[in-house]
Amino acid sequence: NQYKHVRDLITTFKGHSRMAWTRLTDQEEAVATRALTTFETIPQAVLDTILTEDGGGSRFELASIYQLLGVSAFYTSDVDAAVRCLERGLKIYGSEDAPAEHLFPQAFCSHFLGLVEKNWCHLDRPIDANLASAQRHLEDAARRLQTRKSEFLTPLTLAEVLSYSEQTREAARSQLENSIERLTNLKEESGLDANQDALLGRALLLRGNIDYLNRD
């Protein structure tokens, strides 16, 4: 029964993988919280069995569940649970790139861990250490997403982190110029959707902040 429950969660969250996470309704938040609570009652032995099933082929499905649970926890402000799930998902994926159909969720494990490091600073270490960790996670995510021409969020988030340090500010400028050029070309060719339009505004703001810091 617990094994079947894992499969049911996989099916349910695959159906929600394109949901608007930043605009969750109260009902959707309740579903996400309930799914995480239920998932955490499944014994580790059951999950370990899935990791070895089909010669290890099923591990990517389990990793995607951890990724989706981590993202939903992030957007319901359960940051501790988000980190637990995202780190577990990333560990299951491993250091090598996952197969093409799993590369996006693998990248977004790193993306959201980068967001956590950027936005929730550890009290027992310098902020530079947080930013360095955020940079590493976001660089991993950006590298895995570089073949997706429609992906702008991760490179812009990486540029934001780079812009906070004088030592990496020029790298941020280069990253931003690339994103602004791509978004501008897309706007001229086919137009931008609401999210892309907002990202172009964000990119221009970050670029303006860098120019201001450089007294230009």
pLDDT at 14 over 60: no
Its pTM stands at 0.88
Please tell me the predicted confidence (pLDDT) of residue 17: 45
Please tell me the predicted confidence (pLDDT) of residue 154: 95
pLDDT at 162 over 60: yes
Place of tokens 């009652």: 41
Among 164, 117, 162, residue whose Cα is nearest residue 137:
117
Query: Contacts from 100-104 at CB under 8 Å and sequence distance 24+?
Result: 102/60, 102/63, 102/64, 103/144, 103/145, 104/145, 104/148
Please tell me the predicted confidence (pLDDT) of residue 21: 66
From CA 191, how far away is CA 170, in angstroms rounded? 29
**Span 36-81, pLDDT tens digits:** 888 888 888 888 888 887 776 788 888 988 998 899 899 888 999 9
**Span 176-198, pLDDT tens digits:** 999 999 999 999 999 999 999 99
**Span 95-107, pLDDT tens digits:** 899 988 899 999 9
Average pLDDT over residues 144-150: 88
Q: How many CB atoms lie under 10 A from the CB of residue 205?
A: 12
Among 92, 87, 177, 180, residue whose Cα is nearest residue 137:
87
From CA 121, how far away is CA 125, in angstroms rounded? 8
Please tell me the predicted confidence (pLDDT) of residue 36: 85
